Structures are given as structure tokens and as C-alpha cells.
Amino acid sequence: MFSLRLTRSEYARLRFQARATGVTMSRYLVAQGLREPVEQVNPEQLREVLGMLRALCRQIQGEATNINQIAHWANTHRRFPDEAAAIAADLHRQVDQICELRARIGELL
């Protein structure tokens, strides 16, 4: 058994959190103290991945503009231009890169 000094606001907050989880304050404090530590995300790695995502987003926005122009041209001329296949391949590659970055972010978290 031990005693603990708390301010009124700390006590009120702990009591509220314990009641919200449906346990006594003692049980709540023990559970919180024995919880697994939270791992920290490496900010440098996260910035790198976010920068890569930003660049991919810009590329995809440009490709979306190209696709819109191709769709307009195809509707006007009633045929599909040759460069559309290359743009589709670029988009598939970019989607694959986004999936890889998503996996890397998952590993960081």
C-alpha cells in the first residue's frame, strides 16, 4: 500500500477516467502503470516518407489533369490517343509507390 499526492484537478481527472472505464481508481492506476510503453516514431523517417507522399500527390494531380484532357480529346474525336496507355502505366506505378509508402508508415507507427 502507498499514498499518492494529487492536485484536485488531477484527482478529478483520474476519478473521471477510472469511472469511464468502469473500474476503481486503484485498479485504473495499476492498469496504467503496467501498460506497455508507447513507442516513439522517428520524426526524421516520418518526414522523409511524408515528403515522398507529397511528391507523389503532385505527380498524381498532374496525371489527373492529363487524363481529364485525354478524356475531353477522346470525347471530341471519338477515339483513344496513343499516350493514354503510358499515362495509365505511370498511374499504376504511382499507386504501387503509394501502397509501399503506406506500408512504411505502418511500420513506423
pLDDT tens digits, 80-96:
777 777 887 888 888 88
**Cell digits of residue 10:** 488531477
In the chain, domain spans: 1-38, 43-108
Mean pLDDT, the chain, integer: 85
pLDDT over 80 (residue 107): no
pLDDT band at 65 (very low <50, low <70, confident <90, very high): confident
Place of cell 526524421: 44
Query: Between 76 and 108, where is the model more confident?
Result: 76
52-61: average pLDDT: 84
Distance CA 39, CA 44 (A): 15
Rounded to the nearest 5 percent, the helix, strand and coil shares of the chain are: 75, 0, 25
pLDDT at 27 (0 to 100): 93
Place of cell 489533369: 65
pLDDT at 20 (0 to 100): 93
Q: For the stretch 26-61, what's the b/e string if a residue is b when 16 or more beta carbons lie within 10 angstroms of its beta carbon?
A: eebeeeeeeeeeeeeeeeeeeeebeeebeebeeebe
Which of helix, strand or coil describes residue 5? Answer: coil
